Amino acid sequence: MSLPPPSVAARRPAANYWADTRCAKAFWSQSELPVFHKLVADTLDLAAPQAGEAWLDLGCGGGTLSRGLWERTGGTVGRVVGLDYAAANADRYAVLARDLGAGDRVRFEHGDFSGGLARFPDASFDHAVSGLSISYAEHFDEGTGRWTQAAYDALLKDVHRVLKPGGRFVFSVNVPDPSWWAVGLRSLVGAVAHSRRPLKFLKNCLRMNQYGAWLKAEARTGRFHYLPAAETTAKLTAAGFTGVRHAVVYARQAFLFCATKGG
């Protein structure tokens, strides 16, 4: 598979592969990488879900974190809502809810969080999680002909709005100029050996790296946001969060943040 050349000019490119089924399926293969398992476990450790809580999973993909929230509470979590731009993930969530016996307590909503979270009322969730997703909130300023960080900043404020006082936002984001090969090579051999469909897994890994090249190229135009930890901390603080802390994870290619809504 080859992707069209990414835009390098400060203009709105036509392509947004996040909506494509092939892109969604390629990134499902992350769940077979041991280094990704560690990221998920670290995220869930920090999230520390409890019985009866309502959770929002932003950029949920196939539902790995949603499943973890359910399993960490032994199925006693109140509800988990996954929001993602790729409609293909709806089928994955339907299977997930069926396998867990969760009914409508684990459900998927299709939408682009670049436009905010207006569908959710104020203080409608106890906590929120996100795995390597919120960096892709995008806003193009037609007046200046440039990408801006407005959607990213607005998303952080919207997450703060939909959380109850004391709610935690636990999320991972890639470091500046991330190396997808560093992630893949750290655990590729073991992942292939344990994959149920190794050839398909390798094909999807190659696709992930191709999409990764597109993501990094678009980040250089300002469309996506691989920010230093200090800048992300400042944005969280500006959005109203307190107690912001982070760690370097995912083969040193991501930051894992935890921030709290004061109350």
CA distances from 246 to 3, 117, 146, 218, 237 (A): 34, 24, 30, 25, 13
Distance CA 116, CA 158 (A): 6
- Domains of the chain, by residue range, sit at 38-175+226-261
Residue 10 DSSP code: S
> Scanning the structure block, which residue is given the tokens 């992942």?
191
With CA atoms as reference, report the closest residue to 83 among 133, 35, 142, 25: 133
Rounded to 5 degrees, φ, ψ at 82 are -100, 130
- b/e per residue 111-123 (b: at least 16 CB within 10 A): ebbbebbeebeee
Distance CA 31, CA 36 (A): 6
Residue 58 DSSP code: E
Q: How many CB atoms lie within 10 A of CB 21?
A: 12
Confidence bin at 133 (pLDDT 50/70/90): very high
pLDDT at residue 200 greater than cutoff 70: no
Q: What is the pLDDT of residue 32?
A: 66
Q: What is the pLDDT of residue 207?
A: 66
**Residues 67-104: tens digit of each pLDDT:** 999 999 999 999 999 999 989 899 999 999 999 999 99
Q: What is the pLDDT of residue 111?
A: 93
**Residues 154-189: tens digit of each pLDDT:** 999 999 999 999 999 999 999 999 987 776 665 555
pLDDT at residue 121 greater than cutoff 70: yes
Task: Compute the C-alpha angle 174/175/180, nearest 5°.
Answer: 65
Those residues whose C-beta lies under 8 Å from the C-beta of residue 25, and which sit 6 or more positions away, are: 88, 204
Those residues whose C-beta lies under 8 Å from the C-beta of residue 113, and which sit 6 or more positions away, are: 58, 59, 83, 85, 134, 137, 155
25 by Cβ neighbours in 10 Å (0-12 / 13-18 / 19+) ranks as: middle
Q: How many alpha carbons lie under 13 Å from residue 19 in its C-beta half-sphere?
A: 8
Fold adopted by 38-175+226-261: Rossmann fold (3.40.50)
Q: What is the pLDDT of residue 4?
A: 44
Which has the higher per-residue pLDDT, 232 or 37? 232
Q: What is the pLDDT of residue 14?
A: 53
